Amino acid sequence: MTSPVIPTIRPARPEDVPAVVAMVHELAEYERAPEQCHLTAEQLTSALFGPGPTSQEPSAPALFGHVAVDEQDQPVGFALWFLNFSTWAGVHGIYLEDLYVRPAARGTGAGRLLLATLADICVRRGYRRLEWWMIDWNPAAGFYASIGAEHLSEWVPYRLSGDALRQLADHVTTAGTRTGD
């Protein structure tokens, strides 16, 4: 039996977008929430590579991506991330939005290499943190612990979305303030 081929990690390219979108949907299925995943290739292309010339969005991408590719340069895993900022440390960090490796490529080191790539970016740029959230039942917790990741139980996530988000945003209009963006 031959050893699995170790994938190569590289920045995502526009031609990788359909495969990454498909894997995002696979991840949503795995996390038992496929009905909540609405990502399209157009949205991801705009987020990673900048919007088209008629868009009202800023031209610089705010999302970054890396892919693990097989020997045919086909994506078998991905990491989508963006910069955050620690006011206490005074420097940026990386927030890993999603990490996913297709089942057939698990055990090849793809996940570890994707995380190592982001850790390398942090070290080279002087960022102090690489952070992510994980669904509480995900068996990857053991893998994360094996690479030295700490489970942070003292921080509790909060989220505004849907009607609550719109209601709070309406407060800007009723209070007569301007966001300036």
> Annotated catalytic residue: which of 30, 95, 127, 144?
144
Percent of the chain beyond pLDDT 70?
A: 90
Residue keyed to tokens 């693990």: 68
| Max intra-chain CA distance, the chain | 69
Summarised one tens digit per residue, pLDDT across range 97-149 is 999 999 999 999 999 999 999 999 999 999 999 999 999 999 999 999 999 99
The CA distance from 54 to 61, in Å, is 15
Give residue 177's pLDDT band: very low, low, confident or very high (50, 70, 90): low
Summarised one tens digit per residue, pLDDT across range 25-39 is 999 999 999 999 999
DSSP 41-80: HHHHHHHHH---TT-SS-SS-S-EEEEEE-TTS-EEEEEE
What is the amino acid identity at position 146?
Answer: S
User: Is position 158 annotated as part of the catalytic site?
Assistant: no
Spatial contact of 19 and 74, defined as CB atoms under 8 Å apart? yes
